[in-house]
Amino acid sequence: MNECAGPYCRPLSPRRSPSRSGGSGLGRLPLPRARVIALAALCACGLASGAASAEATAAPARPIVSSWHSKLLHNHPLAGKLWGTSKAAPQQVDSWDAAIAAARIVITGEVHDNADHHAIQALVLDPLLALALRPAAVFEHLRADQQGALDAFNTLAAERRTLDEFLKVVDWEKSGWAKYDLKPLFQAVLAAGLPIYAGDPPRDLVRKAAKEGRAALPPEELTRLALDIALGEKHDNAMLTEIEESHCGLMPKSALGGMAFAQRLRDAYLADAALKARERHGSALVFAGNGHARADRGIGWYIEKRAPGTVTFATQLLEVEDGKTDPEAYLPRDPDGNPAADYVIFTPRAARSDPCEEMRNMFKKRP
């Protein structure tokens, strides 16, 4: 197994907080000086039963070390806290570690350009490694057409499974993801000796799906991936609204059907990789954007359609907003108002320019 090196390293055996209790509420996620967010130091955060304000249910305040990557709203009262949603967790487990250990597929979301999110994702490994479990790691950031190279990499001797070699194998600098700080997460997975799986479809297939919709795939492949099963009108409309908002209202809903199918294809591919990884290694960790991590129409939906009863566990990493201190107000929800994740973790916001302004400028440049 590789030695872990760099500012994100931490012991593979988690240190547990002195007390854990059931019930609903918030737990503080303390920040060590090395910019590592210690998952093992999370206070007990059982499943929430109804809305409650952060002030009413927060654990005793602990000082936040100013070691976040982002300083934007790092003093927000929710930053560094974990919140259990009102959705019943798998097998009714009432603690973070137990929920992760009980699941066969653990899905952790992210905002891609938030470096703190990738540091937190690396620590999802700890509860599993503490039990000597070695799940496979599935990444949205790697394409299915790279799996052959990854399979060869997975068989290398431990001393050759280095971060540099991995980045070379996946041609990281040309991947389109290199601008995001994913290296700490990759390093943690490599240090733990976990097999790595690609979760995203090939680029050409995504483009074809966005252009042609269902016609982009043979009927038997649609069936295998559960893409022949409708999400339902409410979920379809919710997805179209989300895509419309992400494009700043610059494209009408009527033009977004292909993009919605491409999103479904990516969710289905991630689920497919997770199921393969679980079959071969017993369990799987999936790292993907928060949209893919949704339990109502994302990866978990396809897993349930293809392998009913598979225990999954979904966490979303959410950026705090100024003046917004009620955790319930942040929860992703399905069209019926039910939480679309089992837990959320709150972090500061990443500094970024206005994406809508950038998109408006891009549209102006089109002929």
Note every long-range contact of 88-93, with CB atoms under 8 Å and residues 24 or more positions apart, other chains counting.
88/47, 89/47, 89/313, 89/342, 90/311, 90/312, 90/313, 90/342, 91/311
CB neighbours of residue 242 within 10 Å: 17
**DSSP-derived secondary structure for 4-23:** P-STT---SSPPPPS----S
- Residue with the bigger pLDDT between 282 and 95: it is 282
Q: How confident is the model at residue 176 (pLDDT cuts 50, 70, 90)?
A: very high
Beta pairing partners, 312:
105
Cα–Cα distance measured from residue 95 to residue 80, given in angstroms and rounded to the nearest whole number: 17
Residues 264-283 have a mean pLDDT of 97
Give the span between the Cα atoms of 77 and 98, in whole angstroms.
26
- Tokens for 160, please give them: 């050759």
Q: Is residue 7 part of a domain?
A: no
Is residue 97 within 8 A of residue 15, CB to CB? The reply is no
Q: Which residues, listed in sequence order, are joined to residue 284 by a DSSP beta bridge?
A: 105, 136
The verdict on residue 12 lying in a domain is no
In a domain, 6, yes or no: no
pLDDT surpassing 60 at residue 23: no
> What's the chain's Rg over C-alpha atoms?
20
Rounded CA separation 249/233 (Å): 21
With the C-alpha atoms ordered 344, 346, 347, 351, is the resulting torsion angle positive or negative?
A: positive
Structure tokens at 43: 């206070």
Is 8 within the bounds of a domain?
no
Average the pLDDT over each of 35-44, 93-102, 178-187 and give the range with the smallest value: 35-44
Q: Which domain holds residue 60?
A: 26-365
**Residue 209's pLDDT band (cuts 50, 70, 90):** very high
**The tokens of 257 are what?**
């059907």
* Residue 118 reports pLDDT greater than 60: yes
Residue 20 placed within a domain: no
Q: How far apart are CA 332 and CA 311, in angstroms?
A: 20
Stated pTM of the model: 0.82
Any idea what the CATH number is for the domain that residue 102 is in? 3.40.50.11550
Closest by alpha carbon to 24, among 44, 52, 42, 48?
A: 48
Distance CA 231, CA 267 (A): 12
344, 331 Cβ separation under 8 angstroms? yes
User: DSSP readout, 63-87?
Assistant: PPPS--S--BTTT-TTTTEEEE-SS
Rounded to an integer, what distance in angstroms lies between the CA atom of residue 328 and that of residue 346? Answer: 12
Nearest one of 145, 128, 116 to 36, comparing CA atoms: 116
pLDDT of residue 2: 37
Q: Tell me, what's the pLDDT at 56? A: 35
The total domain count for the chain is 1
Residue 317 lies in a domain: yes
Would you say residue 208 has pLDDT above 50?
A: yes
Report how far residue 201's alpha carbon sits from residue 223's, in angstroms, rounded to the nearest whole number: 16
- Is 18 within the bounds of a domain? no
Domain contains 21: no
CB atoms within 10 A of CB 93: 21
Residue 178 has pLDDT above 50, yes or no: yes
Residue type, 24: S
For the chain, the average pLDDT equals 81
- Under 8 Å between Cβ of 202 and 145: yes
